[in-house]
């Protein structure tokens, strides 16, 4: 089964999605399941994992409603107030939602040291017993902090989003590459090949420019801990859905059939228990 491990839905509102700036006019509209169905059919994708784009509990409920109504949505990575005393109550409320696979917080928007916070770490410690993963959304400058964070939770399954957003636009690879290698030594971390084109120049990136970053994560994590993700519809500011899927397939084409299958769906199916 081919799985897109990372995409978003939204009913566009300029206040709720204020991060969609003037450079991203192309995605200032609604993106809903009927739109994604067309894209995955074109790209030969069987199922998807929907990831939160708003930091409110209602976002999780909304994504789960879509998952209930659309069989191709195999799992949801939602948002809950992880650092709040009310987290356990929220987890109890959603305990019967079998398509809720994990949680994510937009750490890239937080101040340095956020991942060292006691309240947030207390909340993360609640997730493994609930069978929930945690998606790590950071900028490359937050990797050292992330390594410390992961080390506090050795039994928690972590998924690194967008290869930690390296500075592709300026072709910088260090210290990102060294930190990625160190993070990948933690066997409880997997990594999504996603969100890369939007870290380059939207209009002037190239496949060759991305290759060193792709090679670095493949070398660090191996095929068994990488998963394909589109980051649709955000990716549309720089490339098409099928074009990104085809690029990833070209990159992994020298690998064995089993290794390719892991990246294109097997890892996501295993890690998210789809």
CB-count exposure of residue 31 (10 Å: 0-12, 13-18, 19+) = buried
Q: What is the pLDDT at residue 2?
A: 99
pLDDT digits (tens, 9 = 90+) for 12-35: 999 999 999 999 999 999 999 999
This prediction's pTM? 0.97
pLDDT digits (tens, 9 = 90+) for 63-117: 999 999 999 999 999 999 999 999 999 999 999 999 999 999 999 999 999 999 9
- The edge-to-edge listing of strands for the beta sheet with 226-228 is 3-7, 47-51, 73-78, 100-105, 133-136, 158-160, 189-193, 226-228
Q: What is the pLDDT at residue 210?
A: 98
Mean pLDDT of the chain: 98
pLDDT digits (tens, 9 = 90+) for 190-216: 999 999 999 999 999 999 999 999 999
Percentage of the chain lying above the pLDDT 90 cut: 100
The DSSP output letter for 24 is G
Structural domain harbouring 182: 3-271
Q: What is the pLDDT at residue 232?
A: 99
- Given pLDDT bands bounded at 50, 70 and 90, which one contains residue 162? very high
pLDDT digits (tens, 9 = 90+) for 219-230: 999 999 999 999
Q: What is the pLDDT at residue 16?
A: 93
Range 257-270 average pLDDT: 99
Closest-CA residue to 231 (of 203, 197, 191, 195): 195
- Given pLDDT bands bounded at 50, 70 and 90, which one contains residue 62? very high
DSSP assignment of 97-130: -TTEEEEEE-GGGSPTTGGG-HHHHHHHTTTGGG
Contact 241, 197 (CB under 8 A): no
Q: What is the pLDDT at residue 224?
A: 98
Looking at the 3D structure of the chain, how many domains does it have? 1
Range 234-244 average pLDDT: 98
What span, in angstroms and rounded, lies between the C-alpha atoms of 132 and 102?
5
Q: What is the pLDDT at residue 104?
A: 99
Q: What is the CATH number of the domain that holds 7?
A: 3.20.20.140
């Amino acid at each position: 089964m081919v799985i897109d491990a990372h995409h978003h839905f939204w009913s566009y509102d300029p206040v709720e999605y204020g991060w969609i700036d003037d450079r991203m006019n192309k995605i200032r509209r609604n993106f809903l399941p009927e739109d994604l169905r067309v894209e995955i059919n074109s790209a030969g994708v069987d199922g998807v994992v929907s990831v939160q784009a708003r930091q409110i509990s209602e976002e999780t409920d909304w994504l789960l409603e879509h998952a209930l109504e659309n069989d191709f949505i195999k799992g949801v990575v939602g948002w809950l107030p992880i650092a709040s005393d009310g987290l356990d109550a929220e987890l109890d409320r959603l305990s019967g939602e079998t398509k809720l696979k994990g949680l994510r917080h937009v750490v890239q928007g937080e101040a340095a040291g956020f991942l060292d916070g006691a309240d947030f770490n207390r909340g993360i410690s609640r997730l493994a017993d609930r069978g929930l993963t945690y998606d790590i959304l950071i900028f490359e400058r937050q990797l050292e902090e992330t390594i410390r964070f992961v080390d506090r939770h050795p039994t928690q399954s972590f998924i690194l989003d967008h290869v930690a957003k390296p500075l592709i636009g300026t072709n910088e690879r260090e210290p990102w590459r060294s930190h990625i290698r160190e993070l990948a030594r933690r066997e409880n971390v997997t990594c999504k090949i996603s969100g890369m084109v939007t870290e380059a120049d939207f209009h002037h990136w190239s496949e060759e420019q991305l290759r060193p970053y792709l090679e670095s994560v493949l070398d660090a994590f191996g095929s068994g801990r990488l998963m394909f993700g589109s980051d649709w519809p955000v990716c549309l500011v720089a490339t098409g859905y099928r074009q990104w899927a085809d690029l990833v397939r070209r990159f992994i084409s020298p690998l064995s059939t089993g290794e390719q299958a892991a990246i294109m769906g097997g890892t996501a199916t295993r890690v998210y228990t789809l």
